[in-house]
Amino acid sequence: MAFTSIIKNTEGLVAQIVFKMISTPGDRKDIAQDIYLKIFKNLDGFKFQSKLSTWIAQVSYNTCLDYLRKKKLSFPGTLDEENMINEPASDDTNILVRQRQLSTILKAGIEKLPPVYKTLITLYHNEELSYDEIVQITGLPEGTVKSYLFRARKSLKNSLLMSYKKEDI
């Protein structure tokens, strides 16, 4: 079935958004199902004005926002550690251990950011979406997306420099 292919091709993107915005594991599953149900029901309304994955990410983002508004919650999240590190060029275990330590430090720093910053960092750096795609997903103006990403990076840098010696990071 074609819809199964859509799910397989977009489940990582949907999971990143849901995990970033929703903290309760049981709710995450329900929301992911709700997202794909909405996509299935509204697929004929897709106008091909953007990539299908961008439209699905927008549905995911808006579904999570709707849930948070109903529950009046903020949206913490997690980052997939495998997406945060690059495999080292050499097989040296010290390099791998160091990269994992840095990844953990970075992940902890990102978790301290405001929810919108965490989400934008995930969409831009982990999912490697363009500014245009993020604008379509979030509904924020491009200038705001760029500004928020700049502020998020600056805040993250300052937070890490305050918590760790420069040589440690």
Q: What is the DSSP secondary-structure string of 99-137?
A: HHHHHHHHHHHHHTS-HHHHHHHIIIIIS---HHHHHHH
Q: How confident is the model over 53-89, as pLDDT tens digits?
A: 888 888 998 898 888 888 764 433 333 333 333 444 4
**In which band, very low, low, confident or very high, does the pLDDT at 93 lie, cut at 50, 70 and 90?**
low
Distances (CA, A) of 57 to 12, 38, 63, 107, 121: 10, 12, 10, 22, 14
Domain locations in the chain?
2-71, 81-168
What fold does the segment set 81-168 form as a domain? Arc Repressor Mutant, subunit A (1.10.10)
Residues ≥6 apart with Cβ < 8 Å to 12 = none
pLDDT at residue number 94: 64
Q: What is the mean pLDDT of residues 86-96?
A: 52
Distance, in Å, from the CA atom of 143 to the CA atom of 121, rounded to the nearest integer, reads 15
Cβ proximity of 14 and 137 under 8 Å = no
Could you tell me the fold of the domain covering 2-71? Answer: Rna Polymerase Sigma Factor; Chain: A (1.10.1740)
